[in-house]
Amino acid sequence: MHIQWYPGHMHKANKEIKEVLPKIDLIIEVLDARIPFSSQNPLLSTLRGEKPCIRVLSKSDLADPDITLQWQAYLEQEQGVKTLAVTTQQPEKIKLITQLCQSMIPLKGSNDKIIKTMIMGIPNVGKSTIINILANRIIAKTGNEPAVTKRQQRIKLKDNIVLSDTPGVLWPNIENQNSGYRLAATGAIKDTAMVYNDVAFFTAEYLLKTYPEELKKRFQLESLPDNESDLIESIGKKRGCLRAGKQVDIEKASKIIIGELRSGAIGKITLETPEMIEKELIELNLKKEQKTAKKEARKQKWKAKK
């Protein structure tokens, strides 16, 4: 699925991040625990260099706890990276972020030496709530809609830590198509910028393979259909999403499955694993190589004709 949502303030925010990053001591990237890879900003991997990074897995109460542990182990293989899985109902755990900052920058944070940090994350990942907890006051506006924060601000925390907040940013080109679906399914993209049916069919296919018992229990299904289309039909019938002639309203049924995934009503669901992402990246790189080879072949053919 191609994402058609990249507001102007996101473009501006990405430019500002590039400008400010060289002055930053440590980066705090807030990820969605349900999609730790898909919610990472690829810009960061190219610009971070050797700067230490704390990857905060937010909304971990909605994610599969066993897979969250897998992701933490996987992410911490990268040099200079620490992880922390949190929920907005765990303010004391969120406050451990400042302790992590001090442990990762031991020569600062005392003797009036300020630790300059930057916090970033995709829209609707819970970044603003985390900032308010760290600051012990309401600073950042929160909401369930993506793209609430639209400008950078600097916030003084305790222990000589200064936090630079950035707007929630996506990126104009999401190379992995599956990541686009996952971002849409979890609410990082405004609903007006996605096709509900497409996202629901992608989600239903994954849940059938990975969380069948959760589906049966939530939607009170005695047995599961063989495919995602029939699953959405079954959910529509169960929930009364019917048009004239008892035809299932697929869009309404699609909104139900996406809404209940986002709220956690289906269960603790994670939409990607490290192993799955490794395979997808291999396939993506192979497609890139094939595309480059075809382009080069056409170029050589054109030269031969001249």
pLDDT digits (tens, 9 = 90+) for 250-291: 999 999 999 999 999 999 999 999 999 999 999 988 888 888
The single-letter code of the amino acid at 258 is I
Residue 42 parent element (H or E): helix 42-47
For the record, the structure tokens of 135 come out as 């600051």
- Lowest mean per-residue pLDDT among 54-63, 123-132, 171-180, 216-225: 171-180
For the record, the structure tokens of 268 come out as 């603790």
Secondary structure (3-state) at 99: helix
In percent, the amount of the chain with pLDDT more than 90 equals 57
What's the pLDDT at 148? Answer: 45
- The yes-or-no verdict on residue 87 having pLDDT over 50 is yes
Residue 92, CB-side half-sphere exposure with 13 Å CA sphere: 0
- How would DSSP label each residue in 143-195? -SSS----S-EEEEETTTEEEEE------S---SHHHHHHHHHHTSS-GGGS-
Domains of the chain in sequence order: 8-165 (3.40.50.300), 195-263 (1.10.1580.10)
Residues 6+ apart with CB under 8 A from 237: 248
What's the pLDDT at 285? Answer: 87
Residues 152-166 have a mean pLDDT of 84
What's the pLDDT at 143? Answer: 52
Residue 143 CA, chain-centre distance (Å), reads 16
* pTM of the predicted protein model: 0.86
Name 116's bridge partners: 162
* Exposed/middle/buried for residue 239 (C-beta within 10 Å: 0-12, 13-18, 19+): middle
Q: How far apart are CA 112 and CA 114, in angstroms?
A: 6
